[in-house]
Amino acid sequence: MDIPLFPPKDHHHSFFPPTQPLDTSTTTDPTAVAAPNGGSTDKWAAPLLRECARAIADKDTARIHHLLWMLNELSSPYGDSDQKLAAYFLQALFCRATRSGPRCHRTLSSVADRSHSFDSARKHVLKFQEVSPWTTFGHVAANGAILEALDGEPRIHIIDLGSTLCTQWPTLLESLATRHDDTPHLTLTVVVPAAAAAVMKEIGQRMEKFARLMGVPFEFRAVAGRLADLTGDQLALAVNHNATHDSKLAGAAVAVNCVGAMRKLPRGSDRAAAIEKFRSLSPRVVTVVEEEADFAAGEGNFVGCFEECLRYYTVYFDMLEESFAATSNERLMLERESGRNMVRVLACDDDDEDGNNDAVSEWERRERGRQWAGRMKEGGFAPVGFSDDVIDDVKALLKRYRTGWELVNNNNNNNGKQDQGPGLAGGQQQGGGGGDSNLFLNHGFDHNEGNNDHGNGGGDDQTPGLFLTWKDEPVVWASAWKP
Amino acid sequence: MPVDLDNSSTASGEVSGSSSGGNNPSQQQQSTAATPKKKRNLPGMPDPDAEVIALSPKTLMATNRFVCEICNKGFQRDQNLQLHRRGHNLPWKLRQRSGNEVKKRVYVCPEASCVHHDPSRALGDLTGIKKHFCRKHGEKKWKCDKCSKKYAVQSDWKAHSKICGTREYKCDCGTLFSRRDSFITHRAFCDALAEESARAHPHNPTPPPPSNRSPGADPHVDSAPATAPPSAPSSSVSPVHSPELPKTQDPSPAPIMEQPVARAATVNASCSSSSSTSSSSNGSTTSTVFASLFASSTTASETLHPPPPQQETHSFSDLIRAMASHPDHSHTTVELAPPPIEPISLCLSTSNGSSIFGQERRHYAPPPPPPPPPQPPSMSATALLQKAAQMGSSATNASLLRGLGIVSSSSLSSSSSAQLDGWAQRHMEAENSSVIHHHHHHHPGLGLGLLPCDGGSGLKELMMGSTSSSVFGPKHATLDFLGLGMAAVGAGPSSGGLSALITSIGGGLDVAASFGAGEFGGKDIGSSS
């Protein structure tokens, strides 16, 4: 309760709709959210949302009503980023307050699923990749790690648990095609939720065509199901079925690709179990890419989880605003998706999850790289450093997008404090990467203060892997592991 | 050198192999001649009598071990140092070549896992094996600042640096990409690919004819096409064309780059010789294929600039000389290619392209009778690469590029040429007679220009694509597959395909900025206030 309360009336007036989105993007700074009545461009959404979250935690019904009403007046999913943030968080808070989260989420999801087609998916996903490295960063890093881990193998089997709709693979296919030795045979097994099966079928056809075009011997297989539901045996079976008949699979070097997959698992034991499943596949490498946020605090610490959620989506919306044109349809889709996830994270309890496996299609409990790294290590995996080549690729990728993106390499410098290791990777880090790394980690964890800590606190500066930062805020973490 | 040549040629073989192709039976023939997967491993098929040399990695990696004591400049070979010393007015000495008695040497790669480790796959020259070893097994220490791509061979890197970022990628759907990765990903998901593949026979690895597109693309063709529907003539043309083209192309794009003139001459040679020796319509058809291709290429670029008369006549006469060997029976042969056409279209091509081919042409005009590929010139692969890069960067050198592209692209479909033939035939029938003498009146640049404009858009781009595939692509032995891939994309899938994947269109289009605006505007902003 240390945040000052705004008298509602003043509030209403002084925060009268924040005018036109006067390209506020250039000065958007998540840390400025608390600045009080400075001018029309002040960030008004965050304080108001915080108030509301707090009131909900306190079960202060009158206040909740009041704040929700105000937010409803001020927000708009079509306004500037503040208005958008307010609109989507309002939705989540409202659901929370009225305990209608699961229902709301179900409705939103089914609508989204219904409109989910190959075309729309392609459009949004590819457009997003074009304007922002948010996803491509992980693709390049993961592909690099996979290619290196499987270098020289005549038969490769990639088990894709990721949610990238295979947009990650064309560049990998191209790399395979240009590999200096003979092009290996690639089997790509994609594990997809049943809802996406139809889309995946079409995607599979495209992949096959593209592979043919590239001259890569290729087999595409889709396994319907969710990682969470498949037991280790089932997964192995699904993945290896026909293995005896298909010589291509027998003896193929396996890579498990987990881009954005882990967060969709229910918490805790499921994640450990999933990691155990990975082991059972005997992969050469497991790539894990996750968005850098900690939504696992959910139950028991609503305000803390809300704060983290607000932090994360503030950065995300800011990024979207600067990356897309104001009226971009793709952007709207991404924002709506975020809105669904907010409802999922803030207004659906884990109980709901258990009760409604089918209804609530996906979990969105993000964890930070540090936490994932802890899980992977517990599961018996050891981090694989990214080679200089891969790091160069990632840097080259980032150069092609607008400014604001940086790579922070935790590979071989310990929080940037001292030795740059072999001097190759660290030495070239743009803007003195070592310092950045240190800075960002502290910065990052500040937000997490007072939040939960999952017992991995000791390993902050040891998180392996690469971080993508947007305006110095770590947003995506990429890592590679071997058993 | 042979290494690179082989590499590139096989790689381009791969293009045709991997891309799904049309269902033209004749194309299938061609494809069987060039089985993609096997070709890939072909480089290095030395003379069995040659002496096999196995050099150590150290020796292979050693660079410039002959150092000038005056200026410290290093050389890879003593001979070069000796030549250099001459410049310092130092005593120098060149070893005498002792002629034929020197046994031919071939070199194996010391890397045991490498295909070229096997003596039967040894490479034919020292530079070749060095480059091979460096590229495939060496450290890539040259990095492009712009894209971070790495090269083991400095000259590869230099060549790449010159063109890095200058290319744009265009999908058949019309979308332009400045970034390769975006393009690749888009390509995989684009409907254009799906449609093409759907139309093409899935297992026919040969690129389909480009002509599918041309008719629609150009009104001129539309007006004339009846005589030459793309598919019908192609079948009659291609049996000839298929054995012929791969052969010419196979040896490599390298000689093409090196000596376009020689190449052109060879083409002529093959035309004339084949028509003189070969039995039936084969010869004439073939030549017509080439002829019309040339015509189309050159006129496409120079429609508006009829060549200066002197040059015309010049090369013209040469041409006639070249064609002089044509026996009469080619006149009797047939359908597609009435004899007059050949010289004419060839003429046009040479005259139009005279700036490039014109003067030197005569050296080659009396062509060596056998069609086989020109001897690989003694230019290093690196130099070729650089040359390629230069050509790539100077878009102005279009006609040369095109000419090359044409010749080198084995994937050039027969049907398109057939169509050109058809057109030409028609045209000729109309104007008939001594076209040669009335050359100027006919204003051939214009006359033919019509045709190619159309073929132009299709053909030209195909050529650009194939040029880059054979030249740029595989040359960066390590990575630049895309050129290849794109060529495959372009040449392969029949339909829209030909449209240029690679064409560098001036004036970059910022894709990111160009996407459609949504409809939802700011109305809700208003409502909230």
A17: closest CA of chain B, how far (Å): 5
A219 touching chain B per CB within 8 A: no
Tens of pLDDT, residue by residue over B164-175, are 766 677 787 877
Distance of CA A183 to the CA centre of its chain: 32
Over residues B265-277, mean pLDDT: 38
Test B524 with A178 for CB contact under 8 angstroms.
Answer: no
Count of A-B CB contacts under 8 Å: 142
Query: Residue A115 has what pLDDT?
Result: 72
Please tell me which residue, A339 or B336, carries the higher pLDDT value.
A339
Average pLDDT over residues A197-208: 86
- Cα separation, B405 vs B473, in Å, equals 13
**Mean pLDDT to the nearest integer, A125-146:** 91
Give the chain B residue whose CA is nearest to the CA of A184. B37
The beta-carbon neighbor of B185 closest among A126, A181, A329 is A126
Residues near A300 by beta carbon (within 8 Å), at least 6 away in sequence: none
- B20:A180 CB<8 A: no
For the ranges A20-24, A366-370, B70-74, B426-430, the one whose mean pLDDT is highest: A366-370
Q: CA B467 from chain center: how many Å?
A: 4
Residues 202-261 of B with CB under 8 A from A: 202
Q: Which helix (H) or strand (E) holds A408?
A: strand A405-409
Which residue of A lies nearest to B134 if distances are taken between CA atoms? A180
Residue in B with minimal Cα distance to A173: B184
Chain A residues with beta carbon closer than 8 angstroms to that of B146:
396, 399
- Strand, coil or helix: A296: coil
Q: Taking CB atoms and an 8 Å limit, are B40 and A17 in contact across chains?
A: no
Q: Which residues of A touch B529 (CB under 8 A)?
A: 16-17
List the single range of A111-125, B68-82, B109-123, B200-214 with lowest mean pLDDT. B200-214
Note which residues in 22-61 of chain B have CB less than 8 A from chain A: 36, 40-41
Residue contact A212–B529, C-beta within 8 A: no
A209, closest residue in chain B (CA to CA): B197
Average pLDDT estimate for A176-190: 83
How many angstroms separate the CA atoms of B197 and B494, rounded? 8
Q: Does A143 touch chain B (CB under 8 A)?
A: no
Signed CA dihedral, A415, A416, A418, A423: sign only? positive
- Cβ pair A213:B522 closer than 8 A: no
Is A403 an interface residue toward B (CB < 8 Å)?
A: no
Q: Identify the CA nearest to A373 among candidates A470, A458, A283, A280.
A: A458
Q: Closest partner residue to B524 among A73, A78, A183, by Cβ?
A: A78
Contact across the interface for A136 and B181, Cβ inside 8 Å: yes
Set of chain A residues whose Cβ sits within 8 Å of the Cβ of B525? 17, 20-21, 76, 78-80, 83
- Determine which of A5-9, A367-371, B114-118, B247-251 has the lowest per-residue pLDDT on average: B247-251
Q: Does A400 lie at the interface with B, CB-CB under 8 angstroms?
A: yes
What six digits make up the tokens of B61? Answer: 């990696």
Return the structure tokens found at B510: 């910022």
Q: Where are the alpha helices (DSSP H) in B180-302?
A: 180-189, 191-199, 213-217, 219-223, 231-249, 254-258, 260-277, 281-302
Q: For residue B32, give how far its alpha carbon lies from the nearest alpha carbon of chain A (Å).
A: 16
The segment with the largest mean pLDDT, out of A5-14, A60-69, B96-105, B362-371, is A60-69
Mean predicted confidence (pLDDT) in B187-216: 52
Say which residues have a Cβ less than 8 Å from residue B19's Cβ, sequence separation at least 6. Answer: A212, A213, B205, B206, B207, B488, B489, B491, B492, B493
Residues on chain B touching A399 (C-beta within 8 angstroms): 146
- Please state the ipTM of this predicted complex: 0.73
What is the mean predicted confidence (pLDDT) over A137-157?
A: 90
Q: Is the dihedral of CA A409, A412, A418, A422 positive or negative?
A: negative
pLDDT of residue A417: 36
Q: Which of A112-126, A258-272, A434-448 has the weakest average pLDDT?
A: A434-448
Output Rg (C-alpha) for chain B, integer angstroms.
Answer: 25
Of A74-83, B141-150, B241-250, B414-423, the least confident: B241-250
DSSP symbol at B225: G
Distance (Å) from the alpha carbon of A365 to chain B's nearest alpha carbon: 29
The Cα B513–Cα B497 span in angstroms is: 26
Quote the mean pLDDT of chain B: 50
Q: Which of A25-34, A286-295, A344-353, B72-81 has the lowest mean pLDDT?
A: A25-34
> Quick check: A83 pLDDT over 80?
yes
Is pLDDT of A38 > 50? no
Of A79, A130, A393, the CB nearest to B524: A79
Of residues A317, A307, A298, A301, the one with CA closest to residue A365: A298
Average pLDDT of span B90-116: 74
CA A83 – CA A71 distance, rounded (Å): 9
Burial of A127-162, coded b for 16+ CB within 10 Å and e otherwise, reads bbbbbbbbbbbbbbbbbbbbbbbbeebebbbbbbbb
pLDDT mean over B226-244: 36
Q: Residue window 266-325, chain A: list those with CB within 8 Å of chain B.
A: 325
CA atoms of A320 and A328, how far apart (whole Å): 10
- B472 vs A contacts (CB less than 8 Å): none
Residue B36 confidence (pLDDT): 42
Please give the pLDDT value at position A232: 64
Whether the CB of A182 is below 8 Å from some CB of chain B: the reply is yes
Q: In Å, how far is A1's CA from the nearest CA of chain B?
A: 29
Number of neighbouring beta carbons within 10 Å of residue B42: 15
Question: pLDDT per residue over B417-471, tens digit each?
Answer: 444 444 444 444 444 443 344 444 444 333 333 333 343 343 344 344 333 333 3
Q: Do A174 and B524 touch (CB under 8 A)?
A: no
State the average pLDDT over residues B291-301.
40
Confidence of residue A479 (pLDDT cuts 50, 70, 90): very high
Residues 170-199 of B with CB under 8 A from A: 179, 181-182, 184-189, 193-194, 197
How far A181 CA sits from the closest chain B CA (Å)? 8
Q: What is the pTM of this model?
A: 0.54
HSE value, Cβ hemisphere, 13 Å, CA-based, for A6: 24
Report the pLDDT averaged over residues A292-310.
82
Residue of A nearest to B521 (CA): A327
Per-residue confidence (pLDDT) for residue A136, from 0 to 100 = 92
**Cross-chain residue pair B188–A396, CB shorter than 8 Å:** no
* Rounded-to-integer distance, Cα A434 and Cα A298, Å: 33
pLDDT at A289: 93
Q: What is the mean pLDDT of chain A?
A: 76
Q: What is the pLDDT of residue B102?
A: 60
Q: Which residue of B has its CA nearest to A15?
A: B529
Of A46-60, A117-131, B60-74, highest mean pLDDT: A46-60
